[in-house]
A and B are shown apart, each in its own frame.
Chain A
Amino acid sequence: MKLKSEQALELDESHVTVGQSFCDDPKMTMRNVDVFYSDKQAIYDVNIDIAKNEVIAMIGPSGCGKSTFLRTLNRMNDTVEGCRVDGQICMDGQDLYSPKLDVVELRARVGMVFQKPNPFPKSIRDNVTYGPKIHGLADTRVDLDEILEKSLRKAGLWEEVKDRLDQPGTGLSGGQQQRLCIARAIAVSPEVILMDEPCSALDPIATAKIEELIKELSQNFTIAIVTHSMQQAARVSHRTAYFHLGKLIEVNPTEQVFTMPKHQLTEAYITGRFG
């Protein structure tokens, strides 16, 4: 498909997402989701399912709303003054925005890894065991140590830090810090892990390690990852969703998105017309 003019890149108002937005056995479902910051609308009418144990990548130009969308999934947007979410977001059929829901419990089930590694300025041990402690996941010290080792092993960090568990987490290298943050997230045994551009602050070697880790984690967890790197999306994800100016343009299996995108905007983006 050839683009005739720049005009063709504009969105029509009655846009419908192309591709396979829905699946049979969804972990999370989003229907007609709108997000507003005060009066400004950031997300327009998004409908999508996230399947169990899949890795779904969100791509799109900066400011397209992919991070905002990710943060609606564990209600981290609650911390933003004036943010409002309309529509329905469910996990296992349970409405995440119902007033009865305890956000604390939700965030224990939906963990999050942030753009910049943000370990607590405490020891490595305290970083990982903080979540289990506040959620009462361990009754004894032995349980806690078990969780600590398991999480660090899963995050591929155990061998590197097992001799210095009581040293500050902030003393690790950037890549190690990010893996520590992943260990911290999985220590609570969440069902879903959200990753908001987890490698954007890391060098290529550290990035490769994290990507390897994501692939391994996908056996046990459902992972939604926002990335600005199309190569990364191509390497780690099963499905890819393309966002443009707050709208979800296309969702398809990753291979398809990168080889034969259905929508001209997706194609324009992956061929580098804008970004």
Chain B
Amino acid sequence: MSDSKTLIKIQHSLTQRNRAEARFHWYGRIAILIGLMAVALLFIDIVGKGHGAFRATYINLDIRYDADLIGIDNLSDTEQLSAGNWQALPKTALRERFPDVSSRRDKRRLNNLLSNGAGFDLKDRLLASPRLLGKTESVWVLADDDIDTYYKSWLDGNAYEARLTGQQIQWIGELHEQGSIKLKFNSNLFNRGDSREPEQAGIRGAAVGSFLTLVMTLMLSFPIGVCAAIYLEEFAPKNRWTDFIEVNINNLAAVPSIIFGLLGLAIFINFFHVPRSVPIVGGLVLTLMTLPTIIITSRAAIKSVPPSIREAALGVGASRYQMVLHHVLPLALPGMLTGAIIGMAQALGETAPLLMIGMVAFIVDIPNGFSDPATVLPVQIFLWADSPERAFVEKTSAAIMVLLSFLIAMNTTAVWLRRRLERRW
């Protein structure tokens, strides 16, 4: 029978076809695995590089708050205080710890164990409790970033000695044996603004800048986006003008973010003379950038409110605005908020347009308002990643960890909000 011939033919081809099937299946699995591995690798790499930054190296010294040494006689005289030689305090203490160091070069090397800002930390300490003047206390003083890098790597078992001399390594060894050098929680990372010295640099300025910029963005983009979405879904007549608005929104959502930076530079800064580097201009640019996202998600949320609710409201004689305001909007709000959070997460992670409008400047002070020069977390990461000091790698990774945890928190909230509040019809 010819039928059995066909069957035999099919059976012959079958082994090969099944093998092809299995191969194809595996391609899919491998693709997924590669994607998941990339996620894992990224996180492991960042955490591996950055976890150390949450602790810093401190050296224990007996500090004597000697007024003559600092060169002051009155603690309330600010002029004196700012002219005082505060770094002399830890330097002297360190020299007392290692009395046999005599040559100038060795003394300098010894001083290099300490952070340049150590003296100012002691100043703050003294001003907080003035009765310490003239007394001696044992203080953990911040070490230099090179020492920090070496000490951490040495504790881990593969010491990185490139930037230290043998003598410095020996000093550190001695301090370690005496228990006078150790890792403590790095509060500077969370309490300070940017600095040229890695051990003193912190993300507080950038975090506050990010917060202010985001507040500005949210205040502008959420109302405008929701209003635009309401107009397009509920009121817009179907004509060319509304089609044109729609095409515009869809395209803006796909325009590279750096173009928004160019817009900000040319329009806001050069035309309207908004000052550079401030959260206001950052917020304006990010508003325009996130607006399409918010409009698109808000429209989806409005669309998901069933028409029967609208009919019910109109049926009892509500006007279209009352219908929207009293019924559609409250029901669509969770979806809109989800969209807003996603838009804000996008804005929080954005870097490129902010480089264009001067938020890339080196700013030490923590901004106090919307018109203070500021930078934001992602830009801070970019700046630190560009710095040559090895210790900044650790800081950068730590800043990334902070940024990522904010983003994860925001996205989790968005998902939670959607699950919790969104109605199923």
Contact = CB atoms under 8 A, between A and B. Distances in A.
A79 interface: yes
A111 B310 contact: no
Contact of A111 (B308, B313, B316, B326): B316
Given A81-B238, A121-B331, A121-B423, A107 B309 contact: no
Interface stretch (A13-21, A128-136, A234-242, A262-270): A128-136
Nearest to A105: B317
Given A81-B238, A134-B322, A118 B316 contact: no
B308 A118 contact: yes
Given A121-B331, A134-B318, A188-B317, A181 B311 contact: no
- Chain B interface main SS type: helix
Interface in B337-375: none
A120 B312 contact: yes
A114 B316 contact: no
A181 B312 contact: yes
B312 A134 contact: no
Contacts of A131: 316-318
B423 A188 contact: no
A112 interface: yes
Interface string B144-158: 000000000000000
Interface in A172-197: 181, 184-185, 187-188
Given A121-B331, A130-B326, A134-B322, A76 B317 contact: no
Interface residues of A, number: 28
A108 interface: yes
Given A118-B308, A120-B309, A181-B312, A134 B317 contact: yes
Interface in B373-420: none
B317 A107 contact: yes
A74 B314 CA distance: 10
B327 interface: yes
Given A131-B317, A184-B316, A118 B311 contact: yes
Nearest to A131: B316
A104 interface: yes
Interface in B301-323: 306, 308-319, 322
A112 B423 contact: no
